[in-house]
Amino acid sequence: MQGTREREDMLHLEHSWTPNIDRLAADGVMLTQHIAAASVCTPSRAAFLTGRYPLRTGMVSSNGYRVLQWTGVSGGLPPNETTFAKILKDKGYATGLIGKWHLGLNCESSDDYCHHPLSHGFDHFYGMPFSMMGDCESWEMSEKRAGLEHKLNVCSHVMALAAFTLTVGKLTRLVAGSWALVICSAIVALLCFTTSYFMGALIVHADCFLMRNHSITEQPMRLQRTTALMLKEVSSFVKRNKQGPFLLFVSFLHVHTPLITTENFRGRSPHGLYGDNTEEMDWMVGQILDTLDTEGLTNSTLVYFTSDHGGSLEAQFGNNQYGGWNGIYKGGKGMGGWEGGIRVPGILRWPGVLPAGRLIHEPTSLMDVFPTVVQLGGGQVPHDRVIDGRDLLPLLLGTAQHSEHEFLMHYCESFLHAARWHQRNRGAVWKVHYVTPIFHPDGASACYGRGVCPCFGDKVAHHDPPLLFDLSRDPSEAHALTPDTESSFHQVMERITKAVEDHRRTLSPVPLQLDMPDNIWKPWLQPCCGRFPLCWCDREADPQ
């Protein structure tokens, strides 16, 4: 089970009521240094499914587009990448994905499905091909609508002014030429104004819809019933496939702006709407665990719970914090190297196999799930490509004392921002920052007013020498070490520099899926239930 975007690390919400996640943790193994491969969703999810850094699969950008921007884009997880779902499907597993995808859909037409979950090893999909966002509801925070409306309003004003100026010029004979230019300017102004007026509805229909396999079932989504639909689908999948081996990836739409929460949970948490949404997500976890209990599958099922990145500190409106909190860890979503953006919860439960209540304080990665489940499913990790994940089983079972990760790299888009070294003989976890975002305003702890911190340009700081921290002594990254305060400063820098050089030699150039032109909306790629652009349908039975 994977949460989405703003992290649901209940260890950081001291007063939230999360009995089901607590039950998972008490009955399983907790990874206290579990690291996402990216601090935003699209690249992190690609790394999770493939066991490879996003830069290897091309699921990054170099121009500021951090995630896939629309459903109707041609970018996505390349067809030649191998997911753990594909390997397990080939080994006879029923494979399902329920929830958020956000790894692309089509390449050349609206129904070629080259990036669809069913093209990446899942034989059943139900959920959002895109991502939950504030624009899916008329909400006070907007990811796309507000910016697009502003640009279109500027367009309409400029073109209207041009039409007016040309008209006056023509009537006073100060401007020569045809009236065609006046008419064209007026038409463009009208188009920009009309598009701006309907932009919110266009986004909702373009991105906020549900699919079952290749068919759209609800466009746009009726958000208040989505939770019930997801749980119904989980229960149905488990019951259909309980007689054989199955892999089910439940990718929650919680906890994510606009924090869609059903009436039963609204107003329950002292943490406001974010807390309400978190408690509902915990209840969903409980419903899934209860389904396993009811079907007699608890002792034969490995359950894994995590998040794809840290909380979004910039997701604020007035005095309301909608993006979560990262506890003692500095930074948050969108920050390539700071711990708050990439350290995520990691819980694994397998009664009778994994020891209950165990804590593992070793660096591990979301990419480790790939070789771990492939090994458990009787498959083989591909040998024709670099796999960055490491099998977790020896660590989980206690037959190994240390993680196989000596080094981990931390990217922001295609730019290396930080790297960590687990020096096992000293018990130290060193981390160097080559680039960090410049927080805004001065003295802040995030990039407030900018949506998300940038990865390059004049809004980041380059450090020479790099910033050095020992996370084993300073997990908050509050005190950068110097040659005066750390006797092994230069030796640590030399060792990590060598590791970065070795890592870069393993990289091969690939097309960047999140760059232009693969990450702009293309009308011919837009999935539509009905006649475009009037995309509307409701084929869902009431789940209540």
What's the CATH code of the domain at 105? 3.40.720.10
> Which region, left, alpha or beta, applies to residue 538 given φ > 0 means left and ψ of -120 to 50 means alpha?
beta
Element at 249 (helix H, strand E): strand 246-251
- Flag whether 474 is in a domain: no
Residues 394 and 307 in one domain: yes
Written as one string, the DSSP assignment of 430-487 is: EEEEEEEE--BSTT-SSBTTSSS--SSSTTEEEEEEEEEEETTT-TT--S-B-TTT-T
| Residues 43 and 149 placed together within one structural domain of the fold | no
Return the DSSP state at 169: H
Q: Which amino acid belongs to residue 422?
A: H
Amino acid 244 reads G
* DSSP strand pairing (29-35 vs 343-344): antiparallel
Q: What is the rounded average pLDDT of the residues 318-329? A: 88
What pLDDT, on the 0 to 100 scale, is given for residue 136?
86
**Mean pLDDT, rounded, for 399-425:** 97
Distance between CA atoms of residues 342 and 336, nearest Å = 8
- Asked whether the whole model's pTM tops 0.95, one would answer no
- Residue predicted with more confidence, 171 or 285: 285
Q: Cα Rg for the chain, rounded, in angstroms?
A: 24
Q: What is the mean pLDDT of residues 98-104?
A: 98
Tokens encoding 195:
């598009």
CA distance 126 to 213: 6
For residue 163, name the pLDDT band (cuts at 50, 70, 90): confident
Q: Does the pLDDT of residue 11 top 80, yes or no? A: no
Q: Does 290 share its domain with 173?
A: no
- CB-based contact 43:60 (threshold 8 Å): yes
Would you call the peptide bond into 220 cis, given omega within 30 degrees of 0 as the criterion? Answer: yes
Q: How many CB atoms lie within 10 A of CB 420?
A: 24
Say whether both 334 and 255 belong to one domain.
Answer: yes
Strand 346-349 versus strand 303-307 pairing type: antiparallel
Are residue 289 and residue 181 in the same domain, yes or no?
A: no
- State how far the Cα of 130 lies from the Cα of 256, in Å rounded to an integer: 13
Question: Dihedral sign, CA of 228, 234, 240, 243?
Answer: negative
Contact 84, 57 (CB under 8 A): no
Q: Do the domain assignments include residue 168? A: yes
Domain assignment of residue 459, yes or no? no
Among 34, 102, 116, 205, which one carries the catalytic annotation? 102
Claim to verify: residue 174 and residue 263 sit in the same structural domain: no
pLDDT at 196: 66
* Segments forming the whole domain that contains residue 124: 2-133+209-402+508-525
Two tokens, residue 25:
């943790």
Q: Cα separation of 320 and 140, whole Å?
A: 11
**Averaged over 494-504, what is the pLDDT?**
99
DSSP 367: G
Same domain, 170 and 290: no
Helices (H), 172-214: 180-207
pLDDT above 80 (res 60)? yes
Tell me how far apart the 2 most distant CA atoms of the chain are, in Å: 90
Q: Which helix (H) or strand (E) holds 94?
A: strand 94-100
Would residue 438 count as lying in a domain?
A: no
Instruction: Report the pLDDT value the prediction gives residue 372, as an integer from 0 to 100.
Output: 98
What total number of domains does the chain contain? 2
Are 307 and 39 contacting, i.e. CB atoms less than 8 angstroms apart? Answer: no
Query: Catalytic site residue 102?
Result: yes
Strands 29-35 and 316-317: unpaired
Q: Does 395 map to a domain?
A: yes
Q: What is residue 173's predicted lDDT score, i.e. its pLDDT?
A: 73
- Report the distance separating Cα 26 and Cα 303, nearest Å: 13
Residue type present at position 1: M
pLDDT band of residue 252 (cuts 50, 70, 90) is: very high
Residue 149 has pLDDT above 80, yes or no: no
Q: Which residues, in sequence order, are CB contacts of 75 under 8 Å at separation 6+?
A: 68, 104, 115, 513, 514, 515, 518, 519
d(CA 356, CA 379): 27
Residues with Cβ < 8 Å from 62, sequence gap 6 or more?
413, 414, 415, 512, 515
Catalytic residue among 12, 34, 41, 116: 41
37 and 105 both lie in a single domain: yes
Contact 129, 100 (CB under 8 A): no
Cis amide leading into 465 (omega within 30): yes
Task: Please give the average per-residue pLDDT across 219-225, as a whole number.
Answer: 93
**Residue of higher predicted confidence among 332 and 451:** 332
pLDDT at 4: 45
Q: Give the C-alpha separation, 361 to 177, whole Å.
A: 75
One domain for residues 179 and 273: no
Evaluate whether residue 461 is within a structural domain. Answer: no
The C-alpha angle 208, 209, 211, rounded to 5 degrees, equals 145
**254-293 b/e (C-beta count within 10 Å ≥ 16 → b):** bbbbbbbbbeebeeebebebbbbbbbbbbbbbbebbebbe
Residue 166 falls inside a structural domain = yes
Rounded (10°) CA dihedral 468, 471, 474, 479: 10
Average pLDDT of span 506-512 = 97
314 pLDDT more than 60: yes
208 is catalytic: no
- Average pLDDT of the segment spanning 495-510: 98
**What does the pLDDT read at residue 142?**
67
pLDDT score at 301: 98
Is the pLDDT confidence value at 64 over 80? yes
Q: Is residue 140 part of a domain?
A: no
Residue 308: pLDDT over 50: yes
> Are 84 and 373 a contacting pair, CB within 8 Å?
yes
Tokens 């790297």 — which residue? Answer: 419
Whether residue 10 has pLDDT greater than 50: no
CA–CA separation, 37 vs 513, rounded Å?
17
Rounded Cα distance between 110 and 93, Å, is 29
Same domain, 390 and 360: yes
Mean pLDDT, all residues of the chain = 92
Give the C-alpha separation, 443 to 461, whole Å: 15
Looking at the structure, do residues 314 and 183 belong to the same domain, yes or no?
no
Question: 115 and 171: one domain?
Answer: no
Angle between helix axes 19-27 and 272-294 (nearest 10 degrees) is 50
Task: Kindly indicate the confidence band of residue 5, based on its pLDDT and cuts at 50, 70 and 90.
Answer: very low
Q: Over the stretch 277-306, which tens digit does the pLDDT of each residue have? A: 999 999 999 999 999 999 999 999 999 999
Q: pLDDT tier at 321 (50, 70, 90 boundaries)?
A: confident
Place of tokens 């711990």: 339
Residue 173, sorted as left (phi over 0), alpha (psi -120 to 50) or beta, turns out to be left
Give the residue ranges of DSSP H helices in 127-179.
145-171
